[in-house]
Structure formats: C-alpha cells, structure tokens
Amino acid sequence: MTASNEQPSTRARRRTVALATGTAAALGLAVVSLAGPARAASTLTVAKDGSGMYTTVQAAVNAAASGDTISFAKGTYQEIVNVPVAKTGLTLKGATGNAEDVVITYDRAAGYTDSNGNEYGTPGSSVATFSANDLTVTGLTVQNTFDKAAHPQITDTQAVAVTAQGDRQTFRNDRFISRQDTLLNWAPSATGQYRQYVTSSFVTGDVDFVFGNATAVYDRVNIQLRDSGAAAGGLNGFLAAPNTSSAKTYGILVTGSAISSSAAANTYYLGRPWHPSADAVGQLVIRQTSLPAAVKTAGPWTDMSGYSWKNARFFEYRNTGAGAGVDSNRPQLTDSQAADYTAQKYLAGTDGWNPVS
C-alpha cells in the first residue's frame, strides 16, 4: 500500500463522490460531472523589445496550450522554432498582417554539425518545424539564410525554411525563403493522412524547393524560381521533388498560381521524382498557373538519381505564359480528369476538410 499525502477529509470527499456516482449509475440516473468549465483559448504576445509576454518565438510556443493564438510584433526573430505534436490547434500570426514585417530566420544547412559533430541532415536544417495538427500560420516570413557560396566546404547544402509535418495545416499570407529545399511537406508515416494548404503566399528557391511525401496544395501562390546564373539552355534548378507513396492518390498540387523568374530561358525544370524507396512514386499536378520563359518548354520534367520521371505521376492542365506548352513530354490532364485534381479533392481526406476559400 502506498502512503498518501491527502488529508483525511480530502479522502473522505473522494469516497463520497465515488459512492454517489456509483449509486446514481445503478439507479439509471444521470451523473453530473464535477469538472470545471473548459479552458478558454488565450492569446500570447511576442515582441523583441520586451513589450509582449515573451521575447522569443519558442518561449511562447512552449508556454502555449492547444488552441491558443501567438501574436508576433514586428521584428526579426533569429532562432530555430519547433511546434511539437502536442500543441494542436495553434494559430501563429504576425500582428501587422504584413508578412514582411515579422521574420523568423536562421542560418542552418544539412551539412552543418551539432556539438557532437553530427550533421543536421535535411529535416534538421529546418528553421521552423511544425508537427502539430490543425495549425494555422499567417502573416509570417520564415527564411533560411544559408549561403552555399560563403561555405564551399559544405557539401550537403539543403537548407529548409519550413518542415510542415502535421495534418490540416494552413499557411496563409506567408513568405518562405531559401534556396535548396525551402518547404518540406512531410508525412511522418508515408501512407498516413497529412494535409497542408498554402495559399496567398510567396515561396522561393532554386533546387527541389517544394518537396516531400505529404498531400500539399499551393493555391494562388507566388512562386519564384531564383536565378543561379546559368546561361540560356543551362540548368538553374528544379521547382518540385515529390516522393508521394504509391498508395496515395494525391501528392502536391500547384493551382491558380503565378510562377516567375528572372533566370535565363530554358533553365528550370518544373519537377523531378524523388525516389528514396520502392513505394515512392511522386505525384504532382501544376494547373491553371502562369509559367515563365525560364521553364524548359521542350521538357519541364526530368529524372532523379536514375529514376525516370515517366514512372512518376506528373501532369499539367491549362497552364499559360511563355513557359507553357503541350507535347509528348508534357502530359496533360483531360477536362474530366482535372475535375478530380482540385484543391478540394486533394484536401478532403477522410473527414471532408475544406480550408479553401
């Protein structure tokens, strides 16, 4: 028998409640809960100058309870941020509504090493890792400032700005900036339901900067292909690298968006299939989106590590602009097929989630 620190009167009250509950149940009567009312959601404020409740993003995240809102005052927050699985339903928002005013930034690459000499790797290079379900991020910039030209000794140059690895995550009116691997849409369980919705936002990079195995929609997003200096017809980079499980119908969708670039003509691929495992068969549709001259019009898809893009699930539909085209190297959805590849269809999942406005 374990000793108890409760006072006798406390134990007596517990026994009385238990007996009363048992008696009521035995008589078929309703049991009235003695629990207090549910906790109301709170708003936590963050400001670099100390005028808020916290001065760092992570301190506010650590203090927040599920369902809370964290509001960030104008400023640059130089730190690594982690929103763990348990912090469900959080809203992270810039107080001004202008994403350029609130910047979370850090310099980290996959090839950097920690205090034990271990490389961070791709996920470990992330400035912000969002693992919680039902997360909303709005009015924020997340930027990885790693500069590979300044660090020629670093060979693993992936530099993630955001790792999104929760379900029903919404990113609205945000900016995500890096070069290689800017935004990782990740499903911790390859066949699990992990959906992320990016809308009315800005994303920029140069190599595989939209990538992963989650179901992700980029809806009315400004996507910038950064100029790495290649001459016309050369290679500046690749927009997307999905590694969707073959068990999933939907991977990554870019819809109603604008892709822009100051890079030379015919220097960018729209995508290549990341194939780290036998069941990874990348799925990507780019539809009703304007494409710049920087896109390789004769063939915007390419192989990756010996895996043919033709084995992946890459399609276009009614794209426009100097980089658009239709030929045998540019598979197109039919009108009837396109009806099944909309933002709503990608995101509905098993619960009918529809954040599309």
Q: Is 80 exceeded by the pLDDT of residue 41?
A: yes
Summarize pLDDT for 186-198 with one digit per residue, the tens. 999 999 999 999 9
Q: How confident is the model at residue 134, as a pLDDT? A: 98
Residue whose C-alpha is closest to residue 82's, from 187, 174, 160, 199: 160
Summarize pLDDT for 120-178 with one digit per residue, the tens. 999 999 999 999 999 999 999 999 999 999 999 999 999 999 999 999 999 999 999 99
**Residue type at position 28:** G
Summarize pLDDT for 309-339 with one digit per residue, the tens. 999 999 999 999 999 999 999 999 999 999 9
Instruction: State which residues form the domain around 118.
Output: 75-348
Q: What is the mean pLDDT of the chain?
A: 92
Between CA 96 and CA 166 the distance in angstroms is 26
For residue 127, the domain's CATH number is 2.160.20.10
Mean pLDDT computed over 200-212? 98
Q: How far is CA 324 from the centre of its chain?
A: 27
Q: How confident is the model at residue 270, as a pLDDT? A: 98
DSSP 283-342: EEEEES-B--TTB-TT--B--BTTB-GGGSEEEEES-BSTT---STTS-B--HHHHTTSS
Asked if residue 4 is part of any domain, the answer here is no
Q: How confident is the model at residue 10, as a pLDDT? A: 36
Q: How confident is the model at residue 118, as a pLDDT? A: 97
User: Sorting pLDDT into bands at 50, 70 and 90, what band is 34?
Assistant: low
Q: How confident is the model at residue 48, as a pLDDT? A: 96
Asked if residue 32 is part of any domain, the answer here is no
Q: Is 60 exceeded by the pLDDT of residue 3?
A: no
Q: How confident is the model at residue 357, as a pLDDT? A: 80
Asked if residue 60 is part of any domain, the answer here is no
Q: Is the C-alpha dihedral spanning 86, 172, 300, 158 positive or negative?
A: negative
Q: How confident is the model at residue 96, as a pLDDT? A: 98
How do strand 283-287 and strand 252-255 relate by DSSP bridges?
parallel
Summarize pLDDT for 280-291 with one digit per residue, the tens. 999 999 999 999
Q: Count structural domains, the chain.
A: 1
Asked if residue 8 is part of any domain, the answer here is no
Q: Is 80 exceeded by the pLDDT of residue 14?
A: no
In this prediction, what percent of the chain has a pLDDT beyond 90? 88
The first and second tokens of residue 156, run together, are: 């693993």
Mean pLDDT computed over 236-246? 98
Q: How confident is the model at residue 2, as a pLDDT? A: 38
Asked if residue 226 is part of any domain, the answer here is yes
Asked if residue 37 is part of any domain, the answer here is no
CB neighbour burial string for 251-277, b if at least 16 within 10 angstroms, e if fewer? bbbbbebebbbebbbbbbbbbbbbbee
DSSP 219-246: ES-EEEE----PPTTS--EEEEEE--BT
Mean pLDDT computed over 182-208? 98
User: Sorting pLDDT into bands at 50, 70 and 90, what band is 39?
Assistant: confident
DSSP 144-176: E---GGG-TT-------SEEE-SSSEEEES-EE
Asked if residue 48 is part of any domain, the answer here is no
In this prediction, what percent of the chain has a pLDDT beyond 70? 89
Mean pLDDT computed over 230-247? 98
Higher pLDDT, 156 or 41: 156
Q: How confident is the model at residue 17, as a pLDDT? A: 33
User: Sorting pLDDT into bands at 50, 70 and 90, what band is 244?
Assistant: very high
Asked if residue 58 is part of any domain, the answer here is no
Q: How confident is the model at residue 19, as a pLDDT? A: 33
